[in-house]
Amino acid sequence: MTFITDIVSTNVHESSVSAIKEMTMLSAKVEGAAMLTWGLPSFRTPEYIRQGVKDYLDNDVDAGKYTLPDGLPALRNLAAKKYNENTGIEVDADENVMISAGNMQALNTLFHTMLDLDDEIILTDPCFASHIQQINLFSGKPVYWPLDENNNWSLDVDLLPGLITKKTQAIVLVSPSNPTGKIFSREELIRVGEIAKQHNILLIIDDPYSDFLYENREKYFNLASVEALKQHIVYLYSFSKSYAMGGWRLSYMIMPAELKREAIKVHDATMICAPRIAQLAGIVALSQPSNHKQEFEAVLAERRELITQRLANVPQVFFSQKPEGAYYVFPKIISAHTNSKEFAIDLLYNTKVAVTPGSAFGPSGEHHVRMAYCVEEDVINLAFDRIEKYFR
Ligand SMILES: Cc1ncc(COP(=O)(O)O)c(C=O)c1O
């Protein structure tokens, strides 16, 4: 213990780097590891976006400057238009749209804006690990809403009212889900919307994956398209996966005007604005036609078939339900083990295969692992060749 321990806040000290990154960092030190830890797609940012950004750098004298805290008006207008195309809901680029440095930063802004000590946010369980961490960092309390594993991780809406207290501020929804790949049904989501409205709770829709739906496109429903919920919904769209722009750090937030007026204070005080160069990339991304999303989805569909088939070949190790969307599988560990973290570490050191322990995604994630199949097929095959050999 040094004086550093004393000066670090308890919240930060008690928090840790997410298990996703922890496993990725551990596996980076294992030479030749087959990494299925990180949801980092293997795709390159599409050519038209790279070219458009080069043009801006050459010709836009303002390209290196700050923007307003809520982002470039041209990008906010495009986001409002896109949102209207996708949901049928009219929003105002000035009143309702804010540009952020990725959905992580957007969520950080929201939690910072909303949370007082012990305020509660309801998270599906399992959920995205960073949601838990962010809420804890702002002294809030994650409240776990267990998904129904027997029903391929669907929402159990009957449980929801019992989780709501005077301290509940919001429910976070991700569909298709990370880590399970589940697409929540229209009926379930509408019921969740009704409950949230009745209790005056915000619904935060974190959406990095709705472009990856495979044969389940018909099943997908965006709750943000319900006009009656307009004042209760914050919708976050990430460019990271659909446009292979994870490193650019870009997303847009659509939210009630009153909330935007509060959240913009946080944005201004913490980051001034999302990087302008990424915002310019976003303008190019949204203003030019491109079929790259269909191409990405087709490649991911093949990888999903491959990993589903490879998992089926090791029933003594994993039990897996086929994911519906996104690019993760969340199999249950069948072989003898103590907990998912030890299993993941043993797997890494014994087989050079890196997966993320399910416990990182909430209590219901224990005894599972998450595998991200957005990597090249060779990596998936290498990982499963090693797993098959080790567990033979
Ligand atoms: C559910 C969820 N939210 C947010 C993020 C991060 O998105 P961004 O890159 O836009 O910050 C991820 C990335 O894996 C995710 O799975």
Q: pLDDT digit string (tens) for 360-375?
A: 999 999 999 999 999 9
User: Of all atoms in ligand 1, which is nearest to the CA of residue 177?
Assistant: 1
Q: What is the mean pLDDT of residues 228-236?
A: 97
- Ligand 1: distance of its center to the CA of 144 in Å? 19
Any ligand 1 atom below 6 A from CB of 246:
yes
Answer whether 178 contacts ligand 1 (Cβ < 6 A): yes
> pLDDT tens, 311-324?
999 999 999 999 99
- In ligand 1, the atom with minimum distance to the C-alpha of 39 is 14
Three-class SS of the chain: CCHHHHHCCHHHHHCCCCHHHHHHHHHHCCCCCEECCCCCCCCCCCHHHHHHHHHHHHHCCCCCCCCCCCCCHHHHHHHHHHHHHHHCCCCCCCCCEEEECHHHHHHHHHHHHHCCCCCEEEEEECCCHHHHHHHHHCCCEEEEEECEHHHCCECCHHHCHHHCCCCEEEEEECCCCCCCCCCCCHHHHHHHHHHHHHCCCEEEEEECCCCCCHHHHHHCCCHHHCHHHHHHEEEEEECCCCCCCHHHCCEEEECCHHHHHHHHHHHHHHCCCCCHHHHHHHHHHHHCCCCHHHHHHHHHHHHHHHHHHHHHCCCCCEECCCCCCCCEECCEECCCCCCHHHHHHHHHHHHCEECEEHHHHCHHHCCEEEEECCCCHHHHHHHHHHHHHHCC
What is the percentage of the chain residues whose pLDDT exceeds 70? 100
- Ligand 1 center–CA 336 separation, angstroms: 32
Query: Which pLDDT tens digit goes with each residue over 10-58?
Result: 888 888 777 777 888 888 898 999 999 988 888 999 999 999 999 999 9
The pLDDT value recorded for residue 5 is: 84
Q: What is the pLDDT of residue 38?
A: 86
* Mean pLDDT across 232-243: 98
- Taking the centre of ligand 1 as the mean of its atom positions, its distance from the CA of residue 392, in whole angstroms, is 36
pLDDT at residue 368 in the model: 97
Ligand 1 close to Cβ of residue 210 (< 6 A)? no
Q: Return the best residue to mutate from 130, 135, 183 for the ligand 1 pocket (most ligand atoms within 8 A of CB).
A: 130
pLDDT at 22 (0 to 100): 82
pLDDT score at 106: 97
Across residues 70-87, what is the average pLDDT?
A: 98
Ligand 1 closest atom vs CA 131 = 3
- Ligand 1 nearest atom to the CA of residue 239, by list position: 10
Task: Say what the pLDDT of residue 112 is.
Answer: 97
Would the CB of 124 count as within 6 Å of ligand 1? no
* Average pLDDT score, the chain: 95
pLDDT given at position 287? 97
Q: Closest ligand 1 atom, CA of 236?
A: 10
* Residue 40 confidence (pLDDT): 85
Average pLDDT over residues 237-243: 97
Ligand 1 atom at minimum distance from 246 CA: 9
Q: Best of 18, 20, 38, 104 to mutate for ligand 1, by most ligand atoms within 8 A of CB?
A: 104
Residue 365's pLDDT is 96
**pLDDT tens for each residue of 276-333:** 999 999 999 999 999 999 999 999 999 999 999 999 999 999 999 999 999 999 999 9
| Ligand 1 pocket member 206 (CB < 6 A) | yes
- Nearest residue (CA) to ligand 1, atom 14: 39
Structural domains of the chain ordered from first start: 3-45+292-390 (3.90.1150.10), 64-287 (3.40.640.10)
Residue with CA at minimum distance from ligand 1 atom 13: 39
Q: Is 103 in the pocket of ligand 1 (CB under 6 A)?
A: yes
pLDDT for residue 51: 98
Ligand 1 and 251: CB distance under 6 A: yes
The reply to whether ligand 1 has any atom less than 6 angstroms from the CB of 242 is no
Q: State in Å: Cα 208 to ligand 1 middle.
A: 6
Res 1 pLDDT > 80:
no
| pLDDT for 193 beyond 80 | yes
Compute, in angstroms, the gap from residue 273 CA to the centroid of ligand 1.
Answer: 19
The finding on whether 174 has its CB within 6 A of some atom of ligand 1 is yes
In this predicted model, what pLDDT tens digit does every residue of 127-164 receive, in sequence order? 999 999 999 999 999 999 999 999 999 999 999 999 99
Total-model pTM? 0.95
